[in-house]
Amino acid sequence: MPGSTLVTGIGELTTNAPGGPGTRDGDPTGLVTDAVVLLDGGRVAWAGPAREARDAVGHALDGREPDVTVDAGGRAVLPGFVDSHTHLVFAGDRAAEFEARMAGRPYEAGGIRSTVAATRAASDDVLRAGLARHLDEAARQGTTTVEVKGGYGLTVADEERSVRLAREVTPEVTFLGAHVVPVEYAGRADAYVDLVCGEMLAMCAPHARWVDVFCETGAFTPEQSRRVLEAGAAAGLGVRVHANQLAPGDGVRLAVGLGAAAVDHCTYLTDDDVAALAGSWTDSGTRPDGTSGAVAGTVATLLPGVEFSTRQPYPDARRLLDAGAVVALASDCNPGSSYTSSMPLCVALAVREMRMTVAEAVWSATAGGALALRRDDVGHLAPGARADVVLLDAPSRTHLAYRPGVPLIAKTWRSGHPHP
């Protein structure tokens, strides 16, 4: 159990805890200036303005001195990033495919199959080493919670292995046997869906928290997707969906209708899709700031690394936000459509290309990701939350977008443990 750490001299603290000490009314990011954060036993013990810290910290520590004190020197602090969408169990890379795309070739869902061949051929240790390398890379960029999908195995044994290895590194594991129809089932997609809903799900569900499907032309139809998601839900898994990435389609409304925690990509949306996403929050009577109990809406998770790497148009975050939908940002780190693990890059792209304000983008990359994973212990800094904290080498969170590509993560704490 980590001891206590007091971080003082914070120029700008993003708490995502509206109503907390020192926050302003109507600011969902709960920004506090000249602030202090106290971590104790792996949890946040207190966060608020320096002027209230003396009494609050003394009270929280019961008169003990903090074990460690860190002076932020006027720099900015925020919750660790919650990357709610990655595909990190894979082998090989597709740099040549990326290069061809940049020379004018379109992105196609079928590219997934080349990673499937490399992943099947890899040993457990090669896959474990890849996972560890990418997770370390993400941690150095401020990610403290990560979801990991399978989906590059596409046999019962290879998908079981994928989710089992993912479960060694995170509880947020997603079964994605329905990523694409594998070559050996070409022309027999329904037979493959039978396998996914039957033996594959039975072997994978014990390691997974979520079920996912790629509902898109070239992958699975809405009917096939519904079968997979309903089977997963019947096996006790939460629902999330890849949809509307390459063209408009029925995936978003299918996801909302099934009460999915998130529908990811959302690049091509109709007005009905946007209304369905927004309505999922108002209809369920829950509020995205988590102030009214259980979360039941469907988060629209936007993945700007994909549009960057596939030269597609960026999703219109402004349209979703203005309609009242809840937006998360995630990396979609995978070797095909988005080979970045950088949440700061996603924030920068969202601000520059998707008409999000800095405050909205930072919220979506932290609290939004937590909602997309239906987690109430991460993505914010309030007493009781997990002590997942990022200290920036910058005076404000704006620098995440203002200084793209610059390594701005000075220090990270995960469950109160410091890195580096």
Which amino acid is it at 63? G
Q: What are 298's two structure tokens?
A: 């469907």
**HSE-CB of 119 using CA atoms within 13 angstroms:** 30
Among 332, 335, 362, 386, binds Fe ion (CB under 5 A): 332
Q: At what angle do helices 156-167 and 112-121 cross, to 10 degrees?
A: 80
Q: Tell me: does residue 237 bind ligand NIG (CB under 6 A).
A: no
Q: Tell me: does residue 158 bind Fe ion (CB under 5 A).
A: no
Among 158, 332, 360, 388, binds ligand NIG (CB under 6 A): 332
Q: Tell me: does residue 306 bind ligand NIG (CB under 6 A).
A: yes
Q: Tell me: does residue 242 bind ligand NIG (CB under 6 A).
A: yes
Q: Which is nearer to ligand NIG, 246 or 385 (CB)?
A: 246
Angstrom CA distances, 321 to 6, 89, 302, stand at 35, 32, 12
3-state secondary structure of 14: strand
Q: Which stretch binds ligand NIG (CB under 6 A): 24-32, 129-137, 327-335, 371-379?
A: 327-335
Q: Tell me: does residue 307 bind Fe ion (CB under 5 A).
A: no
Question: Nearest distance from residue 114's CB to ligand NIG, in Å?
Answer: 8
Question: Nearest distance from residue 86's CB to Fe ion, in Å?
Answer: 8
Angstrom CA distances, 45 to 143, 160, 232, stand at 21, 39, 37
Q: Tell me: does residue 227 bind ligand NIG (CB under 6 A).
A: no
Q: Tell me: does residue 336 bind ligand NIG (CB under 6 A).
A: yes
Phi-psi region of 209 (alpha: psi -120 to 50; beta: other; left: phi over 0): alpha
- Class of residue 393 by CB neighbours under 10 A (exposed 0-12, middle 13-18, buried 19+): middle
The dihedral through the CA atoms of 116, 118, 122, 126 has a sign that is: negative
Please name the residues in contact with 204: beta carbons below 8 A apart, sequence gap of 6 or more: 150, 159, 160, 163, 175, 177
Phi, psi of 273 (to 5 degrees): -60, -45
Among 115, 162, 286, 301, binds ligand NIG (CB under 6 A): 115
Among 44, 56, 77, 112, binds ligand NIG (CB under 6 A): 112
Annotated binding site for N-formimidoyl-L-glutamate: 152, 334, 336
Annotated binding site for 4-imidazolone-5-propanoate: 94, 152, 179, 245, 337
Site residues (vs Fe ion, CB under 5 A): 332
Annotated binding site: 85, 87, 94, 152, 179, 242, 245, 332, 334, 336-337
Annotated binding site for Zn(2+): 85, 87, 242, 332
Site residues (vs ligand NIG, CB under 6 A): 87, 111-112, 115, 214, 242, 245, 306, 332, 334-337
